[in-house]
Amino acid sequence: MARVPLTGRKLAYHALTFVLVVLLLMAPALWNGYPLVYFDSEDYVEMAFSFQPIIWRIMTYGMFCSIARFFGTLWALPLVHAILTTWVLHEAVMGFIGRWRHMVFLGVGLALALFTGLPWVSSQLLADVFAGVAILGIAALAFGEGLQPWRRFALVVITAIAICVHMSHVAVAAGLLLVLVTVWLGSRFMLRMPRPRLTAPVMAIVAGILLVPVTHYFIMGRFVFSESGQVLQLALLVQNGMAKKYLDEVCPKGADLEMCDHKDELPHTADEFLWGDSPFDEMGGWKALHDEAGQIVSGAIRLFPADMLNSALANTWEQLNSIESGEDLVPMTWHFVRTQLRRYPDEFRQFRFARQQRRPAIDFFTINSFQIPINWGAELLTPILLVVAWRRRDRTTTGLAIIVVAAIIGNAIVCGALSNPHDRYQNRVVWLALFTAMVGAVRLDQRFAGQRRLSIRAENEALAAEAAEGKTPPA
Rounded CA separation 363/452 (Å): 48
pLDDT at position 254? 86
Residues 186 and 61 in one domain: yes
Rounded CA separation 281/274 (Å): 8
Claim: this prediction has a pTM higher than 0.85: yes
pLDDT band at 16 (very low <50, low <70, confident <90, very high): very high
Residues 204 and 234 in one domain: no
Phi then psi for residue 36, to 5 deg, are -75, 135
Residues 137 and 241 in one domain: no
Average pLDDT over residues 235-241: 90
Residues 80 and 133 in one domain: yes
Residues 206 and 353 in one domain: yes
Residue at 285 is within a domain: yes
Residues 334 and 286 in one domain: no
Residue at 465 is within a domain: no
pLDDT at position 1? 47
Residues 214 and 233 in one domain: no
Residue at 126 is within a domain: yes
Which positions ≥6 away from 89 have C-beta within 8 Å? 21, 105, 108, 109, 112, 136, 435
CB 25 within 8 A of CB 122: yes
Residue at 163 is within a domain: yes
Query: Percentage of the chain surpassing pLDDT 70?
Result: 92
- Nearest Cα to Cα of residue 203 among 166, 169, 173, 171: 173
Residue at 341 is within a domain: yes
Residues 146 and 292 in one domain: no
Q: How is the chain split among helix, strand and coil, in percent rounded to 5?
A: 70, 0, 30
Residue at 320 is within a domain: no
Whole-number Cα distances in Å, 428 to 38, 415, 419, 425, 440: 14, 12, 16, 6, 21
Residue at 73 is within a domain: yes
Rounded CA separation 187/191 (Å): 6
Preceding peptide of 360 cis, ω within 30°: yes
Residue at 416 is within a domain: no
Name the region of 317 (left: φ>0; alpha: ψ -120 to 50; beta: rest). Answer: alpha
User: Does 445 or 135 have the greater pLDDT score?
Assistant: 135
pLDDT in tens, 247-293: 999 999 888 888 998 888 888 888 889 888 888 888 888 888 888 99
- Nearest Cα to Cα of residue 238 among 213, 263, 255, 216: 263
Number of domains in the chain: 2
Domain range enclosing 252: 229-303
Residues 290 and 332 in one domain: no
